[in-house]
Amino acid sequence: MNALNLKFSNIKFARYSLSMFVVLLAVFLSVIFTKEGGQYSPPPELGLYISYGEGEFLINKSDTGWKPASYGTVLFNGDGLRTGNNSRVTLQSPWGITVRLGEDTEISVIKFSANDILLAQSYGTTYHKIIMHNDDSAFSYQVRALNNTIQTKGGIFDLSTNLKDMRTKVKILDGKINMAVSLADIIEVQKIGKGKEITVDPGNENLVTLSDITSDYLSSAWYLWNKQEDEKYSYAAEGSGVISVTGTQTNNGTSSATKNTNAGATSTSKTTQTQTGSCKPSLWVKKAATYNGIFVNWTTCKSDDFQFYKVVRSSINKNPSYPNDPVVSSSSNRSYANFIDKTVAFGMTYYYRVCVVERLGKVTCSNVASVTY
C-alpha cells in the first residue's frame, strides 16, 4: 500500500508540475504577445503613462476608436489622448517628462524613444515639463502644433492651439525653446527664453509676435494648478542657446535675409530681433498662394525714435520710396514686421520697400524686393 500511495503521489506531483509549467508558459506568452485590452500593462519607460486624471479622458490606440482611459494606461507611437469639458490629465515618464492636458484638448504620440520624442497637439492647452538630466546633445523633445514645431532639451512651456483660428501660443516658463514657425511657405526658427510668450496668428496684422508673459496668466487657475503639481517634485531646467530668428527667403532666386535677437527675461520689447546702430530694416517678399497675396516681411526697428512703418509698392518704379510712392501698409507698432498684400493682380511684378519714419521726420528705407504674382 505504501508503494502504491507513493506512486500515486508521484503521479499527482508530476501532473501538478506540468500544470504549473503550462500556466507559467501561458503567462510568459501573454506578456510577449498581448497588445492591449488584457491585464498586462507594458512598462511605463516605453511610453507616457496616465498618472492622474479627472473628468472625462479618452484614448485612441492606433486608430481603433476613442475609448475611456484609466490610470496606468500607457501611450505608445500612434496613440491619442483626448479630454472633455472640465477635465484634465497628467502624463508622465520615468525619464523626467511630464505632460498635462487641460480641458477640451487632444494630443497624439508620433514618436517616443530615449532620445527622440515627438508629440502632436491638435487643439487645446498643454503644459510640458522636461528635465534634462545630462547635457545630451542627441536628446530632442518636440511638439507639433498646427503649422509650427516646438523643440527643447529641457524646460517648462505652456502650449495652446486654436484650431478654428489656426492660432498657436507658447509661453516659456523655464529653460529655452526653439520654435519653427511656418507661414506662407516661409519658415522662421526662433529661439526664445524664459518669461516670453510667442503667438502665431495668421488672422492678425502682425502674424508673429513676441511679448512678456502676462500677470493674468500667472494668476490663472490652470497655471497655479501646474505650479502646485510641479512643487511636489524637485526640478531643475537646463536649456541652451540664445534667442535668434532665422528667416531665409528667396526672391526670384536672388535674395535672402537672416535675423538675430537676444531677448532676455528683462527685455520689455515685443520685437523678435535686435538691431543696433541705424534703424534701416531688411526686407524680403514672396508670393503667398496660401493667403492669395504677397507675403512681405522685414526686420524691425529698435530705436526709441521710431514713429511709423510705411510699406510702399510700385509696379512701375523699380526704386519706390516714401512718401513718393503709394503706401500699402502702415503701422505705429514697432513689433509690426510682416503683412500680406492682397491687392495684387496675377502676372504683375511689384517692387516693395519698407521705410521707417522716426522723430524729426527722419526716414530710413530698406532694400527693394520684387516679386511677380
Q: Is residue 27 part of a domain?
A: no
**Beta carbons of 321 and 311 less than 8 angstroms apart:** no
Read off the pLDDT of each residue in 78-91 and give the average, rounded to a whole number.
Answer: 94
Which residues, at least 6 apart from 322, have a Cβ–Cβ distance to it below 8 Å?
A: 310, 312, 353, 355, 357, 363, 365
Q: Looking at the structure, do residues 233 and 350 belong to the same domain, yes or no?
A: no
**Beta carbons of 351 and 368 less than 8 angstroms apart:** yes
Q: Is residue 270 part of a domain?
A: no
Q: Is the pLDDT of residue 291 over 50?
A: yes
**Beta carbons of 313 and 343 less than 8 angstroms apart:** no
Give the H/E segment covering residue 11. Answer: helix 2-33
Q: Give residue 367's pLDDT band: very low, low, confident or very high (50, 70, 90).
A: very high
What is the number of other CB atoms lying within 10 angstroms of the CB of residue 349? 13
Q: Looking at the structure, do residues 76 and 155 belong to the same domain, yes or no?
A: yes
Range of the domain at 332: 276-372
Residue that finishes a domain, picked among 195, 220, 241? 241
**Selection from 66-75, 261-270, 276-285 with the highest mean pLDDT:** 66-75
Q: Looking at the structure, do residues 224 and 322 belong to the same domain, yes or no?
A: no
Share of the chain above pLDDT 90, in %: 39
How far CA 180 is from CA of 25, 144, 146, 200, in Å, comes to 50, 9, 11, 11
CA atoms within 13 A on the CB side of 188: 29
What pTM does this model have?
0.59
Q: Is the pLDDT of residue 3 over 80?
A: no
pLDDT of residue 70: 87
Q: Is residue 2 part of a domain?
A: no
User: Smallest Cα–Cα separation from 98: which of 157, 54, 58, 173?
Assistant: 157
pLDDT of residue 362: 87
Q: How many domains does the chain have?
A: 2
Rounded CA-CA distance 78/83 in Å is 17
Q: Is residue 130 part of a domain?
A: yes
Read off the pLDDT of each residue in 282-311 and give the average, rounded to a whole number.
Answer: 85
Read off the pLDDT of each residue in 291-298 and give the average, rounded to a whole number.
Answer: 85
What is the number of other CB atoms lying within 10 angstroms of the CB of residue 244? 19
Residue that finishes a domain, picked among 192, 215, 241? 241
Q: Looking at the structure, do residues 162 and 78 belong to the same domain, yes or no?
A: yes
Q: Looking at the structure, do residues 295 and 367 belong to the same domain, yes or no?
A: yes
How far CA 270 is from CA of 196, 209, 273, 301, in Å, comes to 9, 7, 9, 11
pLDDT of residue 313: 96
- pLDDT tens-digit series, residues 134-192: 555 678 899 999 888 999 988 999 999 998 888 999 999 999 999 988 766 666 777 89
Q: Is residue 62 part of a domain?
A: yes
Q: Is residue 254 part of a domain?
A: no
Q: Looking at the structure, do residues 204 and 312 belong to the same domain, yes or no?
A: no
Q: Looking at the structure, do residues 83 and 167 belong to the same domain, yes or no?
A: yes
Q: Give residue 246's pLDDT band: very low, low, confident or very high (50, 70, 90).
A: very low
Q: Looking at the structure, do residues 220 and 86 belong to the same domain, yes or no?
A: yes
Q: Give residue 127's pLDDT band: very low, low, confident or very high (50, 70, 90).
A: very high
What is the number of other CB atoms lying within 10 angstroms of the CB of residue 343? 10
Strand order in the sheet with 293-298: 283-288, 293-298, 338-341
Q: Is residue 4 part of a domain?
A: no
Q: Looking at the structure, do residues 337 and 219 belong to the same domain, yes or no?
A: no
Residue that finishes a domain, picked among 241, 263, 287? 241
Q: Residue 281: which CATH number?
A: 2.60.40.10
Cα–chain-centroid distance for residue 274? 23
Q: Looking at the structure, do residues 219 and 286 belong to the same domain, yes or no?
A: no
- pLDDT tens-digit series, residues 192-205: 999 999 999 887 77
Q: Residue 159: which CATH number?
A: 2.60.120.1440
pLDDT of residue 114: 76
Q: Looking at the structure, do residues 175 and 291 belong to the same domain, yes or no?
A: no
Read off the pLDDT of each residue in 320-337 and give the average, rounded to a whole number.
Answer: 87
What is the number of other CB atoms lying within 10 angstroms of the CB of residue 354? 29
Backbone angles phi, psi at 229, to 5 degrees: -65, -40
**Beta carbons of 44 and 98 less than 8 angstroms apart:** no
Rounded CA-CA distance 337/205 in Å is 9
For the chain, the average pLDDT equals 77
Q: Looking at the structure, do residues 213 and 310 belong to the same domain, yes or no?
A: no
Rounded CA-CA distance 345/111 in Å is 44
- pLDDT tens-digit series, residues 93-122: 877 899 999 999 999 999 888 788 999 999
Question: For residue 165, what is the DSSP state?
Answer: T
For every residue of 252-275, DSSP letters joined together read TTS----EE----TT-----S---
